[in-house]
């Protein structure tokens, strides 16, 4: 079972105990729960015992309120799931906390149904994982685009010199003025080497990315197509 660390920021001990009781019955995750009674204590706990996966945040707190704390958290951490909880269902409070970056808002009346709290937590965790995946894919795409640009630049810059080498070697090999057998053999080797390079150059613009399994921890390998004729660019 996956372990998730949850920080409960709630100044009413009975409410905090209710949250803990609900989370201990979870069939989805093993929740490691820490409870504090103020935003100030929560900040200290995050510094000493973080990182946490989820914060259950009471909106009305002594000292720094939930909105101020949420604003502070979001200025430093966008990945942490924050579910704001309040006895009030005032529209302005709901609007403000979502604007500040809360992942969900629950009224304390709703949490009488234990399913509601865990559903909000699971939805928040899934949303963060989805956002991380989007970032990973975007980063991979940008990396691939950069590599492709470099490869195509190299391809363009080498094409003309290679064509000149091929033409020159071909003319020299065909020339009747060259009688030296070893020189002719060397010219043949040059032509063969250039032909091999030309074949690779045709495939370079089609460098592709391949990912081999989770065991590589996201490592991406790059390879050339096996045959250039199957990967000719579209006109």
Residue 127 lies inside a defined structural domain of this protein: no
Same domain, 163 and 201: yes
Residue where a domain terminates, one of 59, 79, 112: 112
Let me know: does 6 contact 53? Beta carbons within 8 Å.
yes
* Mean pLDDT on 186-207: 77
Report long-range pairs for 125-130 (Cβ below 8 Å, ≥24 apart).
125/4, 125/53, 125/54, 125/81, 127/81, 127/103, 128/79, 128/81, 128/103
Residue 122 lies inside a defined structural domain of this protein: no
Residue 24 lies inside a defined structural domain of this protein: yes
Structurally, the chain folds into a number of domains equal to 2
What is the rounded distance in angstroms from the CA atom of residue 130 to the CA atom of residue 79? 11
- Per-residue confidence band for 5, with pLDDT thresholds at 50, 70 and 90: very high
Whole-model pTM? Answer: 0.62
Overall size of the chain counted in residues: 235
Same domain, 73 and 153: no
pLDDT of residue 228: 57
Least Cα distance to 203 among 167, 130, 151 occurs for 151
- Tens of pLDDT along 133-189? 887 888 877 877 787 777 778 777 777 787 788 788 777 777 766 667 777 778 788
Residue 132 lies inside a defined structural domain of this protein: no
Same domain, 14 and 106: yes
Same domain, 101 and 141: no
Residue where a domain terminates, one of 78, 112, 146: 112
Residue where a domain terminates, one of 95, 112, 129: 112
CATH code at 141?
1.10.287
Residue 66: is its pLDDT beyond 90? yes
Residue 58 lies inside a defined structural domain of this protein: yes
Same domain, 25 and 106: yes
Which residues constitute the domain of residue 23? 2-112
């Amino acid at each position: 079972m996956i372990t998730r660390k949850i920080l409960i920021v709630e100044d009413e001990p009975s409410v905090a105990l209710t949250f803990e009781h609900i989370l201990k019955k979870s069939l989805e995750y093993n929740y490691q729960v820490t409870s504090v009674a103020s935003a100030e204590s929560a900040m200290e706990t995050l510094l000493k015992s973080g990182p946490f996966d989820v914060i259950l945040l009471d909106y009305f707190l002594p000292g720094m309120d939930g909105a101020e704390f949420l604003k502070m958290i979001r200025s430093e951490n966008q990945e942490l799931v924050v579910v704001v909880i309040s006895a009030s269902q005032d529209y302005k409070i709901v609007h403000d906390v979502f604007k500040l970056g809360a992942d969900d808002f629950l009224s304390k009346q709703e949490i009488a149904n234990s399913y509601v709290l865990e559903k909000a937590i699971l939805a928040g965790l899934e949303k963060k994982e989805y956002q991380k995946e989007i970032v990973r894919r975007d980063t991979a795409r940008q990396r691939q685009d950069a590599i492709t640009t470099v490869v195509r630049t190299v391809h363009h810059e080498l094409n003309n010199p290679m064509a000149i080498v091929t033409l020159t070697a071909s003319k020299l090999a065909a020339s009747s003025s060259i009688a030296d057998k070893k020189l002719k053999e060397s010219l043949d080797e040059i032509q063969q080497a250039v032909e091999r390079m030309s074949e690779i150059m045709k495939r370079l613009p089609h460098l592709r990315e391949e990912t081999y399994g989770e065991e590589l921890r996201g490592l991406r390998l790059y390879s050339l197509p096996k045959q250039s004729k199957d990967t000719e660019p579209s006109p």
